[in-house]
Every structure is written in structure tokens, then in C-alpha cells.
A and B are shown apart, each in its own frame.
Chain A
Amino acid sequence: MNVIQAILTGALIGGLYALMATGLSVIWGVLRIINLAHFGLILIGAYLTFQVATSWHLDPILTLVISVPAMFVAGAAIQWLFDRLRLTEFNSLLVSFGLLIIIIQVTSNIWTADFQRMSADVNPYATLSVAVGRLVFPVTTLVAFGLAALVVLGAHLVLRRTFAGRAMRAIAQDRAVAGAFGVDHRRLSVLLGGVVGATAALAGMVFALSNALTPETAFEWFGTVFAVVILGGIGEVVGTFAAGVLVGVLSGVVSAVWSPATAPFVLFSAIILALLVRPQGLFAVGGAR
């Protein structure tokens, strides 16, 4: 029973990983930019939710009204900057690392380095849970999973069905040729950066629902989220979702069966094994990239 609960809870938590990873993966796959600052945007999104909910007593989910547009602008601005600098894939990693450090220091200057958590009276979701038989699901993980599923489905449909999505896949495959056929790379990438920033706001809100915040958390997401991106296949939204669930289940089961201490080892061994066996990603089918 414990194991079944661990698997299901893990799968639901995997939704949060997937939500964090999708934006990173799409930007990497389509624009060839590894945007570590994405973690910074998630962090700011989480703090915005915390701040707005705490000072205005707004429902935490409704704080998205503020954080989503704000993060859209921030994401678009960062993308515009990357585009202007014409960075290589690798240099984008370094520049965005610098940006991330700046963001973390700034949040730490504003909100201090101490742990902060929304109090129970503004955040009713933290303690709610849904029971199915003897299985218990915290509402926060259900929200994370639901949002992740929505984002992934939306991204998948946009990439497959719309003109902008097709244009982005064209950019992913060959930027120069896509440009020669009239795809406006600059406008699309700024738009994509904005949308990805908006998903960062969603992920931040979900994280703030169930966790205490400290600026250093951004670093703790690194390992798991990149694991999800690489396992899912870079630029593959559906793969990212599946990988997020897989990673969530794996850490959940390992934590339940052995101890939470072993979870990172098992996880990273699994990633390295996966990279050895299927370097293009476990769930890659040759889509966006």
C-alpha cells in the first residue's frame, strides 16, 4: 500500500518537475539557448505569489493574474537580450548562469535568505487533501499535475497545429533556412520567451503553495529539472511530461522503500544510464528538434 501511495504521490509531484522543465526544454530545443535564468523566473514567480497573497490576502491561485504577465514580460526581455547578443548555445549557459546568480542575490536582498511560507489563513490549499479509499492526495500536487498536463497539452497543440508552432519547429530544425522562407525568428523567439516566462510563473505559484521559499531553492531544482529535460528529450514537450512523472515516481519509490538520502543517487545513476543507452532522451521521437 505504501508503495502504491508513493508511486501515485511521486507521479503527481512529477507534474511540478515537468512544469518547471517544459519551458527550459522548449527554449533549448527551439532556440538553442540553455536558459538557467528560467530557474530565476520560477523563483521570482514563487515569491510574487507569496508576497501578493500575504499582503493583499488574495487567493494564491489568483495571484497568477499578477505574476503571469510580469513573468511574461521578464521572459520576453531575457529572450530579446539573448537574441541581441547572438550567443552560442554554450555561451548562453554562462550568461544565463550570471543572470541567475544576479536574480538569486536580488531576491535574497528583497525577501532575505530565510525560509518564508504563506501562512495557513491565506493559503487554504496547503492542508487540503483528497482521499480515495486509503490513498491520500494533497491538493497542491493535484494542482501541479493538472497545470502541468494543461501546459504540456497546450504546448503540444500549439507546436503541432498552429502556424506559429510550425514556424518554431522550422526554426528548431534550421534557423537560417526558416529565415529564408520568411519566418521572423526575432519576433517568434521573444514571444516564445514570454510564454515560457509565463509557465515559470505557474511553476513558481505551484511551488509556493506547498513549500517554504528561500532563494537557494533555485539551485536545488537544477539537478532534477535538468534530469527531466534530458530524459524527456530536448525540445520534446510530451517527453518532458512523461520524464517528469517517471522521475517523480522513481524518487518517490526510492524514498519510500529505502530512504530519502538515496533518492539523488538512484536518480542520477538512472540519468547517466539513460544517457548511455538512449542519448537523445528516453521519450524523444524526433519532434521539435
Chain B
Amino acid sequence: MIRRGGAGLLAAFLVLAAVGAFSDQLGLPSFYLILLGSICFWIAQATSWNILSGYSGYFSFGQAAYVGVGAYTTAVLTGRHGVDFFLTVPLAALLCGLLALGVGAVAFRLGSLRGEIFALLTLAVPFILAAFARINASIDGGQGNTVPIPEAADSFGSPQQFQYLLALAVAAVAVAVAYGIQHGRTGSALAAIRDAEDVAEVLGVATFRYKMLAMLISGVLGGVAGSVFALQIGFVTVESVFNLTIPLFVIVMAVLGGRTHWLGPVIGAVLIVTLQDRLSTYGLDAWNSIILGAVLAVLVAFSPDGLYARLRARPLIALGTLVVVTGVLGVLNVWGETLDWLVAGMLAASLLAIVLGSRRTTAAPRAEADEPAVEDEPEVVVSEPGERVAVEPGKVLIECRQVARYFGGVHALEDVTLDIREGELVGLVGPNGSGKTTLVNLLSGAFRPTRGELRVDGRDITRLAPHQIAHVGMARTYQIPRPFDSMTVRDNVAMAIMFGREPLPLRQARPIAERHLATVALDHLADAYPASLNLHQRQLLEMARAIASSPKVLLLDEALAGLNPAEVDNAVRVVRRIHESGITIVIVEHLLRVLNQLATRLVVLDRGSCLADGDPRTVLNDPDVIRVYLGRQAHV
């Protein structure tokens, strides 16, 4: 499958390159070369945008910054300073790469960054750059710059052939990069960031680094394509390259084609550019933006997953429609010329795919998974003794030294000192608001303690990022399960292996993931998507994902909340089995009955400090604990 896609990409590139190189012999008018070159430019831009925004989910509105900086670098250096064109391309790439890293370093460090804020920040970037270029006339001489055709162009035939081949090469590189990313580790990391960023971080994905990488690749590709764009349009002004319709175009293209697949932006770019070309041929330029804006609004509201998924669900019907509509119009020789028929065919095919595909795509991936989801009886885990790993008893695994955490004036934790030894199964209990979840969040790195020190396996984790803590050997589950929705159950678990303490490529991670799924009795749902799982199954998936990173300590945050009694019993068996495999467990739970049989030790928190600690029976009979749980009256 992977190889087939790569081969197809190469073949398409060679055919298109041959079309360009032998356009004279084929009798292709140079108008077609310019149109194809323009399509290639937009494929490169939309793909560049998609690598960051489609894959990672951070929508950028600043694509015009890369086009502008790339085109300006080339136009100013070649046009005003006589620098060779081919020297300006790497320089444009460098400048855009630095710009991308700069923006990313600021944006992704913002503690409060959300998708909307990122979009607005990136929107500001091309404005600032455009204002800068407009005001400092010394950069471009104030009038815009003509880009001379480089001498090397002669060996490629006409200038049109040259610019087309160049744009094609850039587009091919961009698509190949997008393809490589999607099928590699980075693609998985970015998809996880898109689905649930902080969960990815806790599972060991260095989210900041991957976001910066996506930003950098996006910037470099955008800059190179912008640099070639300067040659394509021949004359560069601030207005032509720092234009707000550029982000509109790339967003519409990627959203139309589909953002999660490398082919999506390509489909979108081909459709939009040819459509635009037809509109301006018939003098409907004034309608261009109106149609684009409407396409964006309607698509986001009604078909946010894009054309690619729809076309793949019905490839034959779409292809058939394209051939039939184009062919019939061609044979009848009505409504304009070849390009019009082709555009009509593509539009008909897309519309049909959207209308027909909507029912099937929503049902298709879940059809097989639906069956088990409605089962009421949980899969019973047979209580067989797991492979019991020899545990050195007594070695301290978690050390909390006078840990405090304040939220403004609220003292969520105050001077908690706690040791947890290898092989223990510690129940962490306390009334609501006593600081249990805060402690779990501190241990997993979601927050840093206001004061105090945390050590895991002898290593100070107080200042580590969550993914580094994961690599030390800490895993956690969330009270409300947070699976990666775009991945199958198997790949959810495989993610944890790919980015865990002993990283493996996806293909090797999958069989191991199935073993972990078997541990929690979820292996029969490996191909399902998380959306079709019930609460109990999702919580089991959380556990499978957590143990897949081969942790030393597993933090279970209210993993039994909301389950019915049969499911609780099943979950307890799973927890015990995980514990027997040699993983130390800290479990936050309200059900004292369960903890009484499960835990080797109970720690009671009350209003942020440690109230009792010890053997479950002793702790549960402690008068202070009874008072905290049941109130003073009850004790009397």
C-alpha cells in the first residue's frame, strides 16, 4: 500500500514532467503550461499549509507570510541586485524556515495557546511583514520588482516550460514530503497532537518538538514555492504576494480536499485553480472570492472531512461520472472547450461523491465495531496468574518531598511527603477537593509543584516535561477517557509503544499492541474506532495504552468511575493483572470496598495534606478517616 502510493506519485511526476518537456511536440498551447504551473504552485502551498495545519490541527492563517518572504527574497535579489535565481531559492527557504521557527517558538510557548489564538497570531504575521515592506521602500525600491528569467531557462525550452517544470519539481517535493511524513513517525505524532495533545505528551510524544518540526517544514516548502512563484508571476509587489486571499485559498483547498491525507490538498488545489481559471475566462472574476468564501463556509459546516474520504468511498462512481460528463460534453461539443468539459466533469464527480458518500462514510468504518459496542456484559477477564516479574521489594520508586501546589489562593496540596515502593498497589483516597487528582497531575507533569521535590526511580522530575517523565517510566490514565479518535483501538495502543521508553516503528508496535489489548480483554475490538466503544471499554483502552509504554509506575485516575458492578469487577481483575505483571500502581478511587480488596496500602488525603497512610484495614478503621468521610456526627 505504502509502496504503491510512492510509485504512483513518481509515475505522475514523470508523466507531468514529460508533458512539460515535450509540450511543443504534443502541440500543447503555452496557456496550458501556465495553468499547470499555477496548479503546481497551489499544490505546493496547500501541501505546505497542510503539513502543519492539517496534520497537527493548528490552523495557520499566515501562509501569505511564506509566499511573501519567498517571493520578495527572489524578486529583490534577482531584480535589484542581479543575484542568480538559483542562489535566491535556498536563501528564501532559509528565511522562511527562520520565520516559521520564530513564530512557532513564541506561539507554542504560550501556556494558554488554543487553536483560535494560534490562528489569530499567524494572521497578524503577514500583516506586519507587509506593512514593513511597504513602509521601508529601500527594500524593494517602492515600485515592485521585475524578476528576470534566469539564463539556465534556455536549456529547458521556452520560459513557460521552464517555470512549469520548476513549479512541478517544487510541488512534487512538497507532496513527497507530505507523503513521507504521513507514513512515518512524525505523521503519527502530529495526528496524536491533533486528536488530544496533552494525552500525546503524557504518552511520551515530544509535542513541542514535533510542532516545531512541522512548522519548519511548512515554512521551508512555502518559501521555496513562493520563490518560484516570483518567477511565475514575473513582477512582484507587496499586494500580489502578501495577500490575504492566499491563506483563504490554501485553507479552502485543504478543507475541500481533506486535511488528514497527503492527497487532500492536491485534489483541492486542482479543483479550485481550474475552476478559478474558468471563472476568469468568462469574465466572472468578481464572483471568484464569493464562490470561494461560500465553498469554505458550506464545507466546514456540512462536510468537514473533505473530498478525499468521499472519493475513496466511491472511487468508481466518481471516476465514471468524470469520464461520462466530460465525454458527453466533448462528443456533443457544447459549452465551451476541453477545459470546460473537464471542470464540469470534476465538479459533477465531486458533488456526487459528497452527496452519496455522506451516508456511507459515517457508517463504514464503524460498521464492524458497532456489534460489540452494544454488548451489555463486559468481556470477563479470566483471573489467571500473569507472568509475575521478580520485584525487588522495598526499592523506593516515587518520592514526594514536601510537595505543595497552589492555584492562586487555593492550596490544593500542602507539604505532602510520600514514598511509594516498587511492587505496591497504593490506593489514593480522600473526599472531593482533597488534592488526589492534583497529585496525579503533578506526578505526570501536567502541572509543576509550587514547592517541593518529586523523584521517580531516583530521578528528579520536578522540572521535566510530561513526555520526559513518561520516558522515566510514568504512565497515567484519565478519569474521562481521552482516546485518539482518528486512530483504531490498536493504533491507539501502538502510539504508546512508538513513543514509549523503547520506541519501535509502527509496524513492529502493532503486534505488541495486540498483546496489551489482550491483557485488558479488548483484543477483539482492535480494528474498531474509539467512538464505537462504551465507557468501560474506553477505560480499558486507557489502561492498555498506559501499560504499552512499559512504565514502572501506573497512575489510574478514577478508572472505575461510572461503571456498573459487573464492569467494576472486571476492571478490578484487569488492574490486578497489570499489577501482577510487575507494574507499581497508584489508583485514585472512591469505592472503598474495591480498594479494600485491591490495594496493598491506602493513603488518605484531606484538604491537601496526608491524613493517614498504611495497611487498608488499619486506615479504614482510623477515627480521623471515618470523620473525614462520614462527618463527626456519624462517628459519635
Contacts of B296 in A (CB 8 A): 94-95, 97-98, 101
Contacts of B135 in A (CB 8 A): 259-261
Q: Is B111 an interface residue (CB 8 A)?
A: yes
Contacts of A95 in B (CB 8 A): 296-297, 300-301
Nearest opposing residue in chain A for B109, CB measure: A276
Name B294's contact: one of A102, A220, A223, A264 (CB within 8 Å).
Answer: A102
Could you tell me the distance in whole angstroms from the C-beta of B302 to the nearest C-beta in chain A? 8
Contacts of A115 in B (CB 8 A): none
10 inter-chain pairs at a CB distance below 8 angstroms, sorted by A residue, are A91-B300, A93-B116, A94-B297, A102-B289, A109-B286, A219-B244, A222-B127, A223-B127, A226-B123, A230-B120
The answer to whether B294 and A98 have CB atoms under 8 Å apart is yes
Knowing A91-B301, A98-B300, A223-B127, the reply to whether A106 touches B110 (Cβ < 8 A) is no
Q: Is B508 an interface residue (CB 8 A)?
A: no
* Number of residues from A at the complex interface, CB < 8 A: 38
A87 to B304 alpha-carbon distance, docked (Å): 11
Knowing A105-B286, A106-B290, the reply to whether A90 touches B127 (Cβ < 8 A) is no
Contacts of B123 in A (CB 8 A): 222-223, 226
A85 to B294 alpha-carbon distance, docked (Å): 14
Could you tell me the distance in whole angstroms from the C-beta of B173 to the nearest C-beta in chain A? 28
Within 8 A of B (CB), among A209-223: 219-220, 222-223
Contacts of A104 in B (CB 8 A): 289
Q: Is B292 an interface residue (CB 8 A)?
A: yes
Name A97's contact: one of B110, B248, B290 (CB within 8 Å).
Answer: B248
Q: Is B309 an interface residue (CB 8 A)?
A: no
Q: Is A246 an interface residue (CB 8 A)?
A: no
Within 8 A of B (CB), among A5-36: 34
Contacts of B464 in A (CB 8 A): none
Name B301's contact: one of A85, A275, A276, A280 (CB within 8 Å).
Answer: A85
A93 to B124 alpha-carbon distance, docked (Å): 15
Q: Is B128 an interface residue (CB 8 A)?
A: yes
Q: Is B618 an interface residue (CB 8 A)?
A: no
A167 to B435 alpha-carbon distance, docked (Å): 33
Contacts of B472 in A (CB 8 A): none
The answer to whether B128 and A268 have CB atoms under 8 Å apart is yes
Q: Is B115 an interface residue (CB 8 A)?
A: yes
Could you tell me the distance in whole angstroms from the C-beta of B271 to the nearest C-beta in chain A? 16
Contacts of A34 in B (CB 8 A): 116
Knowing A105-B286, A261-B135, A280-B112, the reply to whether A94 touches B300 (Cβ < 8 A) is yes
Q: Is A279 an interface residue (CB 8 A)?
A: yes
The answer to whether A264 and B304 have CB atoms under 8 Å apart is no
Could you tell me the distance in whole angstroms from the C-beta of B241 to the nearest C-beta in chain A? 15
A91 to B300 alpha-carbon distance, docked (Å): 7
Q: Is A99 an interface residue (CB 8 A)?
A: yes
Q: Is B11 an interface residue (CB 8 A)?
A: no
Nearest opposing residue in chain B for A261, CB measure: B135
Q: Is A114 an interface residue (CB 8 A)?
A: no
For the A-B complex with A87-B300, A105-B290, A223-B128 known, give 8 more contacts whose Cβ atoms are closer than 8 Å: A95-B296, A99-B293, A105-B289, A219-B127, A260-B135, A272-B110, A272-B121, A275-B110
Nearest opposing residue in chain A for B57, CB measure: A90
Contacts of B106 in A (CB 8 A): 272
Contacts of B297 in A (CB 8 A): 94-95, 98-99, 102
Name A90's contact: one of B59, B124, B248, B288 (CB within 8 Å).
Answer: B59
For B132-155 the 0/1 string (1 means CB < 8 A from A) is 100110000000000000000000
Q: How many A-B contacts at CB < 8 Å in the complex?
A: 105
Within 8 A of A (CB), among B291-322: 292-297, 300-301, 304
A227 to B121 alpha-carbon distance, docked (Å): 9
Q: Is A100 an interface residue (CB 8 A)?
A: yes
A226 to B119 alpha-carbon distance, docked (Å): 11
Q: Is B117 an interface residue (CB 8 A)?
A: yes
Nearest opposing residue in chain A for B287, CB measure: A105
Q: Is A89 an interface residue (CB 8 A)?
A: yes
Contacts of A93 in B (CB 8 A): 59, 116, 119
The answer to whether B293 and A100 have CB atoms under 8 Å apart is yes
Could you tell me the distance in whole angstroms from the C-beta of A274 to the nearest C-beta in chain B? 11
The answer to whether B124 and A226 have CB atoms under 8 Å apart is yes
Majority DSSP secondary structure for residues of B touching A: helix
Contacts of B594 in A (CB 8 A): none
Q: Is B196 an interface residue (CB 8 A)?
A: no
A202 to B268 alpha-carbon distance, docked (Å): 39
Q: Give the interface residue-count category, chain B.
A: 35 or more
Task: Pick from A85, A93, A94, A261 the residue with the most CB of B within 10 Å.
Answer: A94
For A77-121 the 0/1 string (1 means CB < 8 A from B) is 000000001010111011101111110111011000000000000
Contacts of A268 in B (CB 8 A): 124, 128
Contacts of A260 in B (CB 8 A): 135
Name A261's contact: one of B131, B289, B294, B301 (CB within 8 Å).
Answer: B131
Within 8 A of B (CB), among A259-283: 259-261, 264-265, 268, 272, 275-276, 279-280
A222 to B61 alpha-carbon distance, docked (Å): 12
Contacts of A91 in B (CB 8 A): 300-301, 304
Knowing A109-B286, A219-B244, the reply to whether A102 touches B293 (Cβ < 8 A) is yes
Nearest opposing residue in chain A for B302, CB measure: A85
Contacts of A94 in B (CB 8 A): 59, 251, 255, 296-297, 300
Could you tell me the distance in whole angstroms from the C-beta of A160 to the nearest C-beta in chain B? 23
Task: Pick from A34, A93, A95, A98 the residue with the most CB of B within 10 Å.
Answer: A98
For B73-111 the 0/1 string (1 means CB < 8 A from A) is 000000000000000000000000000000000100111
A262 to B417 alpha-carbon distance, docked (Å): 53
Knowing A91-B300, A91-B301, A264-B131, the reply to whether A279 touches B110 (Cβ < 8 A) is yes
A-B interface, 10 closest residue pairs, ranked by CB to CB distance from nearest: A279-B112, A98-B297, A101-B293, A98-B296, A261-B135, A105-B289, A102-B293, A98-B293, A94-B300, A95-B297
Contacts of A109 in B (CB 8 A): 286
Could you tell me the distance in whole angstroms from the C-beta of B276 to the nearest C-beta in chain A? 13
A93 to B111 alpha-carbon distance, docked (Å): 21
Nearest opposing residue in chain A for B247, CB measure: A97
Contacts of B287 in A (CB 8 A): 105
Nearest opposing residue in chain A for B112, CB measure: A279
A5 to B127 alpha-carbon distance, docked (Å): 27
Could you tell me the distance in whole angstroms from the C-beta of A240 to the nearest C-beta in chain B? 15
The answer to whether B124 and A222 have CB atoms under 8 Å apart is yes
The answer to whether A279 and B294 have CB atoms under 8 Å apart is no
A274 to B119 alpha-carbon distance, docked (Å): 17
The answer to whether A105 and B112 have CB atoms under 8 Å apart is no
Contacts of B300 in A (CB 8 A): 87, 91, 94-95, 98
Nearest opposing residue in chain A for B110, CB measure: A275
A114 to B124 alpha-carbon distance, docked (Å): 24
Could you tell me the distance in whole angstroms from the C-beta of A104 to the nearest C-beta in chain B? 7
Could you tell me the distance in whole angstroms from the C-beta of B2 to the nearest C-beta in chain A? 31
Could you tell me the distance in whole angstroms from the C-beta of A78 to the nearest C-beta in chain B? 11
Nearest opposing residue in chain B for A87, CB measure: B301
A99 to B127 alpha-carbon distance, docked (Å): 20
A114 to B59 alpha-carbon distance, docked (Å): 32
Contacts of B294 in A (CB 8 A): 98, 102
Nearest opposing residue in chain B for A103, CB measure: B293
A157 to B218 alpha-carbon distance, docked (Å): 47
Contacts of B292 in A (CB 8 A): 98, 101
Contacts of A222 in B (CB 8 A): 123-124, 127
A275 to B123 alpha-carbon distance, docked (Å): 16
Contacts of B304 in A (CB 8 A): 91
Contacts of A280 in B (CB 8 A): 112
For B477-502 the 0/1 string (1 means CB < 8 A from A) is 00000000000000000000000000
A89 to B131 alpha-carbon distance, docked (Å): 30
Nearest opposing residue in chain A for B131, CB measure: A264
Within 8 A of B (CB), among A185-238: 219-220, 222-223, 226-227, 230
A91 to B128 alpha-carbon distance, docked (Å): 25
Contacts of A227 in B (CB 8 A): 124
The answer to whether B248 and A101 have CB atoms under 8 Å apart is yes
Nearest opposing residue in chain B for A218, CB measure: B244
Contacts of A219 in B (CB 8 A): 127, 244
A261 to B131 alpha-carbon distance, docked (Å): 7
